[in-house]
Amino acid sequence: MKAKRTTVIGAVSAIGLLAGACSDSRPSAEAFAERVTSICAATQQRHDEAAKGFDFESFNPDTSDLASIVPLIETNVAIGREANRELKKVRGPEAEEAKLDQYVTVASQMHALGDREADAARRGDRAAFKTLIEEEDALVAELPKDGAFEGC
């Protein structure tokens, strides 16, 4: 009888562990927003630091040396990719995670465009560079901007 009771207790414990492992214990919307906002703020700070010293006022894709912007593009793409890796780890309510997936997907497309922008700038291909900037601007419009993504 003792062996049977141990088996039953063991089975109940195993079921409890499995149920706990399978439960959806997602963080709250507030915790999700706080984490996303924190990542976005830190990312923006890094972008701002990277841009220090670059003269945006006088940079003109029609006349400036395009190679001068390559290091900034490459740095910003690397910063963005790192942020995406952090954002992919964030858990929250399903609806918010769907927005996060959309954000990460669009941001990844922007990073790929950034790589192509840097290549075009390195080659001095002004037409390609400007076209890629326009494509990137169009992608920005696809990024979620509400809720946790307001500051991203």
pLDDT at 68: 96
Q: In the 3-class helix/strand/coil scheme, how is 11-22 assigned residue by residue? A: HHHHHHHHHHHH
Residue 5, Cβ density class (10 Å: 0-12 exposed, 13-18 middle, ≥19 buried): exposed
pTM of the model: 0.81
Residues 98-116: pLDDT tens digits?
A: 999 999 999 999 999 999 9
Q: How far apart are CA 148 and CA 152, in angstroms?
A: 8
pLDDT at 152: 86
Question: What sign for the dihedral angle of Cα 142, 68, 61, 151?
Answer: positive
What are the contacts of 71-77 at 24+ separation with CB within 8 A?
A: 73/114, 73/117, 73/118, 73/121, 74/114, 74/118, 75/50, 76/47, 76/50, 76/51, 76/114, 77/111, 77/114, 77/115, 77/118
pLDDT at 17: 41
Gyration radius of the chain's alpha carbons: 23
Chain CA centroid to CA 100, Å: 8
Residues 14-48: pLDDT tens digits?
A: 444 444 444 557 889 999 999 999 999 999 999 99
